[in-house]
A and B are shown apart, each in its own frame.
Chain A
Amino acid sequence: KNMASKVSLVLRPVKSIVVRFCPFEPNVESTRKFLQSIYHKKIQATNTNCEVTADVRHDGSEPVVDVKFADGDRLIMKGAHLTTGEMLTALASRCNAKDLKEEQKSKRKNP
């Protein structure tokens, strides 16, 4: 929850986030922390249309975060060997880049 308040994550360009993990595996801590920080009210407030789904399995599979953006892009992060901070910063950088692109596009359209 501390990381969520530090990282400025704007979820506007994100359509849906699916977090898939198997809770009985030992390598899911960072993915679970990522899920917890995604549900922080500050981040949820940036985009209420974003659907966050948690898929809990028991097949020993790797923890995966699947992010689908509004313009069709997909970001797949395998959380087995990533830290929460890395995942959050990766997502934040891509979200900000897309946001900037959209702002530039809208500026060009309406000068």
Chain B
Amino acid sequence: MAALGGGGTRWRRAWLPALQLLRRGSKAVTRHWKAMHLQRQKLLALTEFLPPRPPVPPRCRPRHATEEPRQEDGYARVLRRQAEECLRGSRMVAVCQFNSLPDEDVATLRHFLRKHNIHLKFILNEIIRPVLAQSELRSLLPLFVCRNVLLVSPEARAREMLRVLKGVPQVVLLGACIDGTILSRQGVENFARLPSLEVSQGQTVAALSLLSSQTSSLLQRGPAHLTALLDEHIRRLRDTGGATEPPPGRSSGNH
């Protein structure tokens, strides 16, 4: 207390931090850049904002060798089912390359093909490929590159189809499967030139019966020749008036 009292004025002068600091330092808000207090510096350094790191994009991640099976699109499933039904229910399936054609020409082509009960179907390669791979038409797989169109029909009318396609050069016939037989373009043309089934059946029957009819005539030829010769002989004998020599037929009959 005494010490406090003794050096009171001196102590007070030296121990008034507010006055001292004011004399020495500037205000809190200055126009120049003021050095931060150490405690404040430490606090700010501790509570500094660290922005979150953006995640690595999935394309930069290591990809697995086997991809998980993609979930099948419902629309793709529907299209695949339609394609399967189409292939199953048709006798003739022709694959053509479709180069660009104006819309009205497509409609006209559809109309002319519909007259012969041939349906024009646009299909996507990625849908038809698995369908074909499972069915027996595996050989037609290499045809499905670029834009294709299918001509399906429950009857096998190749001649009319070729006639219609001849008028449309933009649709190029590549191959066909008629009655389970895979044909190339030449095969289709040959098939169109063939006669109809009834005519060919009649021709086969005629050929077979011809052989059997020939057999019977062949067998009869020997005795027929013999009889003819004998008749000729008799006539000659009668003509010359030789009645003494009896005909050999009667003597053979006696035996």
Is B one of A's binding partners?
Answer: yes
Q: Using a CB–CB distance below 8 Å, which chain A residues touch chain B?
A: 1, 23-26, 28-29, 32-33, 35-36, 38-41, 52-54, 56-58
Q: Using a CB–CB distance below 8 Å, which chain B residues touch chain A?
A: 97, 99-100, 102, 139, 142-143, 145-147, 169-170, 172-175, 184-187
Separation of A32 and B95 alpha carbons in the complex (Å) = 14
Q: Is the CB of A54 within 8 A of B172?
A: yes
Separation of A26 and B141 alpha carbons in the complex (Å) = 10
A28: which B residues are within 8 A, CB to CB? 145
A35: which B residues are within 8 A, CB to CB? 97, 99, 172
Q: In the assembled complex, how far is the CB of residue B104 from the closest CB belonging to chain A, in whole angstroms?
A: 13
Given contacts A54-B169, A56-B185, A58-B185, contact A24 B100 (CB under 8 A): no
Majority secondary structure of chain B interface residues (helix, strand, loop or mixed): mixed
* Residue from A38, A40, A57, A58 with most neighbouring chain B CB atoms (10 Å): A58
B174: which A residues are within 8 A, CB to CB? 23, 56
11 contacting pairs across A/B (C-beta < 8 A):
A1-B100, A23-B142, A23-B175, A24-B142, A24-B184, A25-B142, A36-B100, A36-B146, A39-B170, A54-B169, A56-B173
- Nearest B-chain residue to A27, judged by Cβ: B142
Q: Is the CB of A39 within 8 A of B184?
A: no
Q: Is the CB of B142 within 8 A of A26?
A: yes
Q: Is the CB of A53 within 8 A of B169?
A: yes
- Nearest B-chain residue to A33, judged by Cβ: B146
Separation of A27 and B143 alpha carbons in the complex (Å) = 11
Q: Is the CB of A41 within 8 A of B146?
A: no
Given contacts A52-B169, A56-B174, contact A24 B139 (CB under 8 A): yes
